[in-house]
Amino acid sequence: MPIPAGFNPASYNSTTGTDFTLGAYYEPGDGNVYRYFKLVDAVNGTIGMVAEWASATAYNVTVDRAGGASIGRIPAGVFVAAVTAGNYCLLLVRGRHAAVKDAANALTVGVKCVPHATTDGDAAPIAGAYATTLNPFGVCLANASGGTFPCEVRI
């Protein structure tokens, strides 16, 4: 579905959830694709955080790795706006994001990325223990630096 003219996903943080259809995909015409979700649990989403599915039956996501409702490190999308826990948001599910979170600066160019196991909203390289247990959400386009990396998101 197209996003309404003049609408900016990077500034969307809604308390009502009535602007879009939960779970629906939206395309603003810039080559990116977004999906509409509700952020649950107590941790707010910030730009570049990786969200995980928090429900098998509803369009709920979480970034809370320690006490959250994640259903198994399944990536749902990447935040393009700061979102308050309990609110609704559009997450990037296909396209380029300039600054996905990686506090450890562990990602290098060409490596597939997965949600980090313990750091809220962070990404990690798909290697070692992650290689056979998690689904990648994208590919790192340049070495991580300053806690972020550019990513081609493909969920």
Q: Mean pLDDT over residues 36-64, rounded?
A: 95
- The string of pLDDT tens digits covering residues 1-43 is 677 767 788 888 999 988 899 999 998 888 899 999 999 998 9
Give yes or no for a contact between 114 and 54, defined as CB atoms under 8 angstroms apart: no
Give domain limits for the chain: 9-154
Confidence of residue 134 (pLDDT cuts 50, 70, 90): confident
Confidence of residue 100 (pLDDT cuts 50, 70, 90): very high
Say if residue 138 is exposed, middle or buried (CB neighbours under 10 Å; 0-12, 13-18, 19+): buried
